[in-house]
Amino acid sequence: MAVNVKTEDRPPIVETSSNHQQFTELFHLYKDRTYDFALRMLGDAHAAGDVAQDVFIRLYEHQSNHHHIEDVKSWLFIVTRNLCLNHMRNRGRQVPLDALDDQLAQTNPAVDPRQRALRRALATLESPYREALILKVYQGFAYIEIAEILGTTVPAVRAILFKARNQLRDELNRTQAKGDSYEL
């Protein structure tokens, strides 16, 4: 019933129908959310797709080696975050604002100019602030989940989000026409 597939560098992967079914369910449940998180972090659809694919390859290998994951959702986003940070470090660049706007405009051509301004301002934030806001606002994570993903405490997450919102508001107000004030 078990099928062994060997590669040169990796231990044999044992696949059972239960593992495959569980993996398939997790993949369909989280593929869009991990991709969206990676896209917002990297601003590059191709790189985000690569990261999302790598995340699920790691999940598959982890499950195939019979390692138990206590909180799969947090684990997936921790791995996604780490792969995004590695990608940004290896490329030596920050989020390309125009690329992110182009990618998101393709998926939703009727984007409000205020939403574009918000995405641009979000992309200017330093990594921990941007990550926390994306996890809270776009992914809907609770403070405790964000703390786990970022490897910090709930009070630290609250402080990060407070600073992130202030920086985001300041950036939006700086780049917008007079009289167009933002309150976050």
pLDDT digits (tens, 9 = 90+) for 20-74: 888 899 999 999 999 999 998 888 899 999 999 999 999 988 887 777 888 899 9
**What's the pLDDT tens digit per position in 121-171?**
888 888 889 999 999 998 999 999 999 999 999 999 999 999 999 999 988
Domain limits, the chain:
8-111, 112-184
pTM reported for the whole predicted model: 0.69
Phi first, then psi: give them for residue 26, nearest 5 degrees.
-65, -40
Supply the CATH classification number for the domain 112-184.
1.10.10.10
For domain 8-111, which CATH number applies: 2.60.60.20, 1.10.1740.10, 2.120.10.70, 3.40.50.300?
1.10.1740.10
Residue linked to tokens 């078990």 = 2
Task: Label the pairing between strands 13-15 and 3-5.
Answer: antiparallel
